[in-house]
Amino acid sequence: MQNLEQVISCDWGTSSFRLRLIDIASEKCLAEIISDKGNAVLFNQWKSQTTTSRLHFYLTYLKEAVDSLAVSSGFILDRHCILISGMASSSIGMKELPYADLPFALDGRSAYSEWINAEPVLANPVLLISGVQLPGDVMRGEEIQLAGIAAMLNLPGENEILYLLPGTHSKHITVINNQVVHFSTFMTGEIFDLLTRYSILSHAVINPGNAAITEGDTASFRSGVMKAFESELLNSLFSVRINQLKKYLSEQQNYFYLSGLLIGTEINYIRKKKKQKLVLCSSGSLQRLYQETLQSAGLSDQTLVITSQILDNSAAAGQLKIFKNMASKII
C-alpha cells in the first residue's frame, strides 16, 4: 500500500536534480537532496555504456537519491509516490513523453503524465509529468512551477496575467481564467553565456562572480537596458566592444551593460502593455536585474514580485496539484 501522507517531489532539470520529501497536508518540505546530476549529465553517461536501458539507468540514479533522502529524513521511503517533472520526460530524460496542448489548466487536470514501471529498481510508484506545447514552442517544468505559484498566490482567475520566469531560456506565460493560453521562450540566459564566453565580446567583459553589485554596475545595466529599448540588438551588441575600446566602462561594468542589452531586448516587447498584470518569478541577483528592467520600462506599478520562498516551493506545489488529480488512479 502506498504512503499517502507524504510524497517525494523530483524536479529534474537539464543541469540540476532536486529531490524533496513533502508532507501532503501541509505541503512542507521535510528533507531534501540536491545534485548536479541533471538529465544532460545522465544522458551522456548512459550513452557511454551499452549494457543498461536508458530507463533502468536513470532509475538506478533515482534509487540512490531516494536512499540518501531516506537516510537524511529518517523515514522509510519504499512506498512513497515519486512525482517527477522537468526534463526527465524529454528526449534526454528517462523516458520521452508527448506534450500536453494548450489551454493548460493550472489545477493540473490538463497535464499529460504516465505511471512508470520502476521495478525491479524501485518499489515506489513513479509519476512522470510531461510538458506543454504550441506549434512553435515548448516547455517542460515551468508550467508545473506556474501551477504551484498560482495556487500559492491565489490571484483572481478571470484576469489576464503575464508570468515572467527568467532563466537560461526565459518563459513569458499568459494565463486567463486560470489556464495557460500562450507562452514565449527567450534564449536570454544562453545567449548571454555564449557571448561572454566565446564571442569577441568575451574580451570586453569580466564576470564579477559573487561580488556585490555596485552602483556603477547598476548604472551600466540601466544604460544597456535603455540602449535595447531604442535600437536593434544586432547593432547595439557592438557597443559593448566600443565601451572597451574607448574605455567608457570597466570590464565588470561592461558585463552588466551587456546583460542590460539582452534583458532589455527581452522585456522591450511588453513595454506597451501598460495595463496588463505582470508577475515576476525569480530570485537573487537575477530578480534585481529584471526589476530594474521593468522599472526602466515603466511597468513596476503593475508588477507583482513573488517571494523566493514561493519560487522555491513552486515545483513541488504544482506536482501535488497534479498528484491529487491522479490519486484516484493509483493502483
Question: Strands 132-134, 100-101: parallel, antiparallel or unpaired by DSSP?
Answer: parallel
Please check whether residues 100 and 43 belong to one and the same domain: yes
Other CB atoms within 10 A of residue 238 CB: 11
- Residue 19 grid cell: 529531490
DSSP 135: T
Please check whether residues 134 and 238 belong to one and the same domain: no
Q: What is the CATH number of the domain that holds 74?
A: 3.30.420.300
Q: Give pLDDT tens digits along the chain (331 positions).
A: 566 789 999 999 999 999 999 999 999 999 999 999 999 999 999 999 989 999 999 999 999 999 999 999 999 998 899 999 999 999 999 999 999 999 999 988 889 999 999 999 999 999 999 999 999 999 999 999 999 999 898 876 668 999 999 999 999 999 999 999 999 999 999 999 999 999 999 999 999 988 888 999 999 999 999 999 999 999 999 999 999 999 999 999 999 999 999 999 999 999 977 788 999 999 999 999 999 999 999 999 999 999 999 999 999 999 999 888 766 444 4
Please check whether residues 11 and 136 belong to one and the same domain: yes
* Structural domain contains residue 166: no
Please check whether residues 30 and 122 belong to one and the same domain: yes
**Whole-angstrom distance, CA of residue 180 vs CA of residue 288:** 26
**Whole-angstrom distance, CA of residue 283 vs CA of residue 285:** 7
The whole-angstrom distance between residue 299's C-alpha and the CA centroid of its chain comes to 23
* Structural domain contains residue 26: yes
Please check whether residues 240 and 295 belong to one and the same domain: yes
Q: Tell me phi and psi for residue 65, to 5 degrees.
A: -70, -40
Q: What is the CATH number of the domain that holds 196?
A: 3.30.420.310
**Whole-angstrom distance, CA of residue 10 vs CA of residue 194:** 29
What domain range is 36 assigned to? 3-140
